[in-house]
Amino acid sequence: MENLEKGIEVSRLIVKYLQGCISPEEKVMLDKWLEESSENREIYHRVQGRVNREERQRIIRKLNKRAAWERVDRNTKKYRHPILRRCMKYAATIVLPLFMVGVGFYLIRDKEEIHPVAEMVKISPGVTKAELVLADGHKVVLGTETIDSLVSEEGVNIVKDGNGVSYLGNKEEGDLAYNIMRVPRGGEFKVRLQDGTLVYMNSETELKYPVRFVGKERRVYLSGEAYFEVQRDTTKPFIVVMNGNEVRVLGTEFNVRSYEDEKCQFTTLVAGKVLLTTHDHRCIELLPNEQGIVDPQGDIRKEQVDVALYTAWKDGNFVFRKQSLEHIMEIVERWYDLKVTFEDEWCKQVSFSGNVERYDDFSKLAEMLEATGSVKFRIKNNEIYVTKR
């Protein structure tokens, strides 16, 4: 247990366990540490249950300090001469911080990281914003302001509140009239459609949908990424069309991602059941915790996945599990509305696991990524350059 005498190692194991990426060998080490004392178990349960990052960090720092002082105290007892022992104690005041800084990398979101990017220009996260294109071509710029009624179209009132836009009205006769909601880079928006379906739209996303649903189906068209909470209606299937491919449901929750610059389309099912169909009529059925993938050749397959990796964005978080830095920076580009340049191709393949709040400025994420000791960032004119450390 020599390694576990360092609080940093314990911190790493605890957080890896909470993230779900701890190895069997590491789990044995953590279990052994928990069995050593009731105090260890109390610390673990307190850290596990905390949601406040400052309080969690305080507990972990206490753990590190206790472990480090015990180690120093044992070492100083080796020196019989009082002067040597006193010198070792003074040296400990320098060494202890080195034990404690390691926590910043392992804790998810913390104020005190290993490699602070002090010189980094603040890059703010995305905000609630979109452009609504009405059926007559008129454009309305939308933000966080509360407007109440925007306009009435086809017997449906379009209402803007602080959270998004809602379409209110029950009339189901007449011609189809489509609206288009465009969310730019650095933005997000919510739309409640006329049938009650709620759509969370991510950055750089466009949704085309009818002002009101008529006929035997509810069909919308998506480019980008969105999370759907579909209002159940067994008489009218809800269909999301993505570049010719379709997701067909009756009532469920799922995430779809279909960006033009990405090779594949992804449909991730949270609840219910959906049918994913390609443009050439190949299809698969998805159950909860399954993801359907359509590649550029039109081939279709499904995999078991952790849905949190693909849906956490709508709840204000980024969740990464052994994902490449190249993929992470694609997300960063859209959400922070900036350009990322890799000056070393090797950096693209660096993998990373962690949770970060989506509404933090970019420096928080950069500090966590730099704490891996593999890469570093610099900023020039709203462009981020990634290099090997």
pLDDT tens for 326-367 read: 999 999 999 999 999 999 999 999 988 888 889 988 888 888
CATH number of the domain encompassing residue 383: 3.55.50.30
Residues 290, 232: one domain? yes
Domain end point (choices 276, 311, 346): 311
Whole-angstrom Cα distance, residue 163 to residue 147? 11
Residue 376 domain flag: yes
In a domain, 43, yes or no: yes
pLDDT single digits (tens) 257-276: 999 888 899 999 999 999 99
- What pLDDT does residue 101 have? 37
Same domain, 175 and 242: no
Number of domains in the chain: 4
pLDDT of amino acid 59: 52
pLDDT value at 4 more than 60: no
Per the structure, the complete domain to which residue 364 belongs is given by 316-388
Asked, for residue 113, whether it belongs to a domain, the answer is no
Q: Is residue 112 part of a domain?
A: no
Residue 90 is assigned to a structural domain of this protein: yes
Task: Report helix, strand or coil for 101.
Answer: coil
Residues 378, 364 within the same domain: yes
| Domain-embedded: residue 83 | yes
C-alpha distances in Å from residue 293, one per residue of 15, 290, 322:
31, 10, 19
Q: Which of 32-46, 231-245, 322-336 has the lowest mean pLDDT?
A: 32-46
Same domain (yes/no): 56, 87: yes
Residue 330 to residue 251: CA distance in whole angstroms: 31
Residue closest to 181 by CA, chosen among 119, 135, 229, 238: 135
Instruction: Verify that 171 and 238 share a domain, yes or no.
Output: no
**From residue 95, how far is each of 4, 99, 119, 149, 168 by CA, in Å?**
17, 7, 26, 63, 64
User: Looking at 293, 311, 329, which one is the last position of a domain?
Assistant: 311
Residue 211 lies in a domain: no
pLDDT digits (tens, 9 = 90+) for 122-169: 788 999 999 999 999 999 999 887 777 788 888 889 999 877 999 988
Rounded distance between C-alpha atoms, residue 163 and residue 58, angstroms: 35
Whether residue 123 sits in one domain with residue 95? no
Q: What is the pLDDT of residues 92-128, one digit of tens each?
A: 343 334 333 333 334 433 333 333 343 556 788 999 9
Closest CA to 236 of 222, 256, 254, 251: 251
Q: Which of 186, 205, 224 is the last residue of a domain?
A: 205
Confidence class of residue 175 from pLDDT cuts 50, 70 and 90? Answer: confident
pLDDT in tens, 200-209: 999 999 999 9
Q: What is the pTM of this model?
A: 0.69
